[in-house]
């Protein structure tokens, strides 16, 4: 059922609800374009609300506003990638919603460019440039983050469940990121990205798509696959990291940044996952099942994809467009920054959970034993 717009209810939503609720309401509205065309003052109020939330988030660092900002962007990006349903996507190309997105992105990008400096990479060519990316990755290596030490050696089953739920949205959407990375790209680099895509879809086997493999974990652990519940699990740092990759692939002006952010993702996954899988085995996850197939698959394929992305995508493109090197390195750094913020916040969430679940132990089959 689509929301029917009137001056009264739009005025109420703009003035009395959080930005994310307001955006969600408008995404699902009937005749949105006509309404705002006829009511420009209400559209101005919407843009002013977006600016004020974004400024409070980015300039003042208000955590609540950071959540509203990133949740709103999450909803707006979701319009591009959610599964089509009859009559659902009438506002996909709304100029008004696009203006809200551009306003919010403007604040986020302004903040990013302050965090990341200009790089002295113009003189680096060919393999030297690729080695520079590897050095950036190694010196900011996320597998060394304490969360992976924690998952490997200390986390309990409940904490693993929390980890899976927090990682769900981005893992499920990696397919869409790769699809976006294929559209209209240089012919020379298509085979490498297509190979990545082919792995995402299980080399044609529906039982082995990466989305299916990740969902198998949830099925086996009895965790809900309700995506609106799983989205609500995400804090602003998780949303920020997810949105970064979406913004890079959806907005073409960021194409070369996406080469860097995706390179870091491919490079980082295998080592992170090795520690994670060791932790899963420690608590008895996947001993007699295919539960860890998603992670084990990525340990092997992402090692290949990481090198392939550098040699077969980035190398030919920087040879053709040397001026793109700044953006590629920028993409690497901002991805590392958002990953670190995400892992920091998830680690704190798991530690907070520890005290509340310390009275629960789990049998190897995953049944909870409540200890008195």
- What is the rounded distance in angstroms from the CA atom of residue 230 to the CA atom of residue 217? 14
Instruction: Kindly determine how many residues on this chain lie close enough to bind Fe ion according to the rule CB under 5 A.
Output: 2
- Which residue carries 């040699």 as its tokens? 311
In the complex with Fe ion, which residue's Cβ is closer, 91 or 272? 272
In the complex with Fe ion, which residue's Cβ is closer, 47 or 172? 172
CB of 181 to Fe ion, least distance (A): 13
- What is the rounded distance in angstroms from the CA atom of residue 104 to the CA atom of residue 58? 10
In the complex with Fe ion, which residue's Cβ is closer, 137 or 214? 214
Distances (CA, A) of 324 to 79, 123, 137, 243, 328: 29, 13, 19, 22, 6
CA 46 to chain centre: 26
Q: Binding marks (x or -) toward Fe ion, 208..247, rule CB under 5 A?
A: --x-------------------------------------
CB of 370 to Fe ion, least distance (A): 36
For residue 336 the two structure tokens come to 């590392």
Q: Binding marks (x or -) toward Fe ion, 164..183, rule CB under 5 A?
A: ----------x---------
The residue range among 145-153, 190-198, 204-212, 336-344 that interacts with Fe ion, by the rule CB under 5 A, is 204-212
In the complex with Fe ion, which residue's Cβ is closer, 24 or 173? 173
CA atoms within 13 A on the CB side of 101: 23
CB of 127 to Fe ion, least distance (A): 27
- Which residue carries 């990133």 as its tokens? 70
* Count of beta carbons in the 10 Å neighbourhood of residue 102: 13
- What is the rounded distance in angstroms from the CA atom of residue 43 to the CA atom of residue 97? 10
Q: Binding marks (x or -) toward Fe ion, 125..164, rule CB under 5 A?
A: ----------------------------------------
CA 306 to chain centre: 18
CB of 208 to Fe ion, least distance (A): 11
Q: Which of residues 34-93 bind Fe ion (CB under 5 A)?
A: none
- What is the rounded distance in angstroms from the CA atom of residue 338 to the CA atom of residue 196? 23
Q: Nearest to Fe ion by Cβ — which residue?
A: 210
In the complex with Fe ion, which residue's Cβ is closer, 101 or 210? 210
The residue range among 63-71, 123-131, 203-211, 284-292 that interacts with Fe ion, by the rule CB under 5 A, is 203-211
In the complex with Fe ion, which residue's Cβ is closer, 98 or 179? 179
- What is the rounded distance in angstroms from the CA atom of residue 202 to the CA atom of residue 246? 22
* Residues found in the chain: 372
In the complex with Fe ion, which residue's Cβ is closer, 70 or 210? 210
Residues 6+ apart with CB under 8 A from 296: 273, 277
Estimate the share of the chain in helix, then strand, then coil, as percent rounded to the nearest 5.
75, 5, 20
Residues that bind Fe ion (CB under 5 A): 174, 210
């Amino acid at each position: 059922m689509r929301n029917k717009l009137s001056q009264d209810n739009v005025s109420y939503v703009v003035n009395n609800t959080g930005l994310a609720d307001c955006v969600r309401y408008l995404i699902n509205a009937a005749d949105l374009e006509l309404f705002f065309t006829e009511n420009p003052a209400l559209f101005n109020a919407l843009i002013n609300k977006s600016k004020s939330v974004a400024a409070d988030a980015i300039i003042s660092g208000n955590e609540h506003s950071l959540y509203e900002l990133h949740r709103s962007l999450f909803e707006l990006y979701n319009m591009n990638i959610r599964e089509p349903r009859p009559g659902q996507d009438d506002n996909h190309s709304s100029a008004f919603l696009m203006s809200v997105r551009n306003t919010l992105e403007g604040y986020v990008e302004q903040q990013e460019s302050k965090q990341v400096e200009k790089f002295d990479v113009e003189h680096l060519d060919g393999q030297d440039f690729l080695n520079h990316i590897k050095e950036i990755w190694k010196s900011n290596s996320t597998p060394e983050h304490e969360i992976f030490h924690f998952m490997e050696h200390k986390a309990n089953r409940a904490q693993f469940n929390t980890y899976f739920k927090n990682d769900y949205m981005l893992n499920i959407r990696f397919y869409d990121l790769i699809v976006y990375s294929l559209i209209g790209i240089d012919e020379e680099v298509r085979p490498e990205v297509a190979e990545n895509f082919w792995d995402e879809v299980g080399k044609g086997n529906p039982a082995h798509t990466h989305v299916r493999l990740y969902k198998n974990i949830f099925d086996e652990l009895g965790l809900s696959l309700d995506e609106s519940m799983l989205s609500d699990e995400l804090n602003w740092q998780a949303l920020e990291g997810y949105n970064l990759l979406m913004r890079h692939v959806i907005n073409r002006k960021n194409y070369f940044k996406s080469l860097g952010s995706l390179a870091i993702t491919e490079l980082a996954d295998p080592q992170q996952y090795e520690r994670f899988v060791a932790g899963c085995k420690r608590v008895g996850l996947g001993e007699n099942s295919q539960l860890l197939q998603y992670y084990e698959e990525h340990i092997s394929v992402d090692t290949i994809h990481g090198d392939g992305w550098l040699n077969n995508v980035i190398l030919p493109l920087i040879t053709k467009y040397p001026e793109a090197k700044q953006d590629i390195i920028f993409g690497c750094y901002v991805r590392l920054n958002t990953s670190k913020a995400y892992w920091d916040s998830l680690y704190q969430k798991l530690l907070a959970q520890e005290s509340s679940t310390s009275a629960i132990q789990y049998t190897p089959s995953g049944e909870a034993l409540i200890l008195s």
